[in-house]
Structure 1
Amino acid sequence: MVNIGKYYGVGEDSMEAKALERLPNPTMLQKLMKFQASLNIILCQEEWLRYHSFIQDWNEGVSMAKIDNGAGDHLFILFSNEGTIIKGFDHESELSPYAQDEHKVWQGIYDDVPKELLSLLEDEAIEKEDVTFCISHKNSDTSWHKGKVEIPEGTSDGSDFLLGCIFHTPEDFVEFATDYFELSLSLEVVAKIYEDLPITEEMIHILNSSCDVKEVLQELELLP
């Protein structure tokens, strides 16, 4: 397995804005994260090596999706009855607390985030202080919101490449997985999963003949 790091990011402010614009609505985003988590379960038996994961009942009334590229960068997405919040951390960004003498959250990142959504980040597992960008969407809103943060010219908050690791199409996922998992995948089967069709033993075997199909099916049952 190879570490693709920032393979999908270009680090330009204009691209960060476009990445935000490409974010689907929370309902579709949750579906995409489940599709990708399901594929990771099939392709990788070792949970700690999975790039995308999803926990349906992470907390009371809250589901959690995570992207972890294994290189120190991560993206948490929390879905709740009040709305959705995305917290990203690019360990190489100048906005990282570790890049500052004061070791604190960059000014403005959490400003204007609705309190009911910001409170979702208080769990220790979310590592609230490790952040370079935050995006939120209340259920009553029609769009995503990002704090007004002054980003030094020529630097990036990491939202471009981390949001780019949410693969909107089967083709994009197959391109990613071919490198990351070093497997040759069936686009036809991946497309069926993206169509939200029931995942069968045959589909699992086609994608990863070396996995324990029964164990995979047991894990997939936790992703309704």
Structure 2
Amino acid sequence: MEANALERLPDPTILQKLMKIQASLNIILCQEEWLRYHSFNQEWNDGVSMAKIDNGSGDHLFILFSNEGSIIKGFDHESELSPYAQDEHKVWQGIYDDVPKGLLPLLDDDAIEKEDVTFCIWRKSSDTSWHKGNVEIPEGESDGSDFLLGCIFHTPEDFVEFATDYFELSLSLEVVAKIYEDLPITEEMIHSLNSSCDVKEVLQELELLHLRD
């Protein structure tokens, strides 16, 4: 993975806020929960929040936030590092070897699919930067981290470019920018972004998402 992709990851507090903003927009733009690209569960486990990116094509990214720190598990189904690309069907050597003992158990949930992994990144609460295991990637191959970390949209412009294509909706950059600024989401803003959605249902979901802010 290129160093700049790792360096571009913000600190966990900012990343968590960013993932929640993108999840909020997905709630507005897509009423079918299983079709959403970004989602967020504030109370995934005791003291643990979980963000997920699922592109619907077999690739996913899980981010777990806890007091111990944060851990990111990604799976690119086309990567040579995928267990499915190997006869032994096992986790590629080095991916989890250096993960701190306090963070690795966060992945121990059937829904996280711990064994389906092509890269892992973590950051303890006491760390000042993100870390990645010492993994030998075959020449010309990729672990999918650049691709999947690129699905975290840092700016409203990037999100609008993505969502216009993915959800096939014409979005107001001005309204999306307000949500990225973490301004309260109003009925008018919801209707502006997706006139066909059930505004009351969306507001209820958003309230649950932001219940513990």
Distance (Å, rounded) in 1 between the aligned partners of 2:69 and 2:207? 25
Q: Once the 2 structures are TM-superposed, how far is the Cα of residue 17 of structure 1 from its aligned partner?
A: 2.4
Q: Does 1:110 align with 2:99?
A: no
> Quick one: distance in 1 between partners of 2:208 and 2:115?
29
Aligned length: 209
**Whole-angstrom CA distance in 2 between matches of 1:220 and 1:116:** 31
Distance 1:172 1:131 in 2: 26
Question: Using the alignment, how far apart are the partners of 2:61 and 2:173 within structure 1?
Answer: 26
Residues 157-189 of structure 1: per-residue CA shift (max 9 Å, x gap): 000010000000000000000100000100000
Task: Give the CA deviation at 1:16.
Answer: 3.2
2:205 counterpart SS class: helix
| Unmatched 5+ stretches in structure 1 | 1-14
Under a length normalisation based on structure 1, what TM-score does the superposition of the two structures give?
0.92
| TM-score of the two chains, using structure 2 as the length reference | 0.97
Q: Matched residues in 2 for 1:17 and 1:150: separation?
A: 15
- Distance in 2 (CA, whole Å) between partners of 1:121 and 1:178 is 32
Distance 1:140 1:21 in 2: 17
User: 2:36 is matched with which residue?
Assistant: 50
Q: What is the CA-CA distance between 1:116 and the residue it aligns to? A: 1.0
Residue 204, structure 1, aligned to residue 193, structure 2: no
Tell me how far apart the structure 2 counterparts of residues 43 and 123 of structure 1 sit (CA, whole Å).
28
- The Cα shift of 1:62 comes to 0.2
1:64-102 alpha-carbon deviations (Å, 9 max, x no partner): 000000000000000001000000000000000000000
Once the 2 structures are TM-superposed, how far is the Cα of residue 193 of structure 1 from its aligned partner?
0.4
1:36-63 CA deviation, whole Å, 9 max, x = no partner?
0000000000000000000000100000
Q: Structure 2: 5+ residue runs without aligned partners?
A: none
Q: 1-side partners of 2:177 and 2:202: how far apart?
A: 19
CA RMSD of aligned residues (A): 0.6
Instruction: Trace 1:1-224 onto structure 2 (pairs within 5 A).
Output: 16-223=2-209
SS at match of 1:222: helix
1:111 is displaced (CA, Å) by 1.2
Taking the aligned partners of 1:149 and 1:25, their CA distance within structure 2 comes to 23
> Structure 2: how far apart are the matches of 1:22 and 1:149?
20
1:4-34 superposed Cα distances (whole Å, 9 cap, x missing partner): xxxxxxxxxxx63221110000000000000
Larger RCO, structure (CA 8 Å, separation 6 or more) = 1
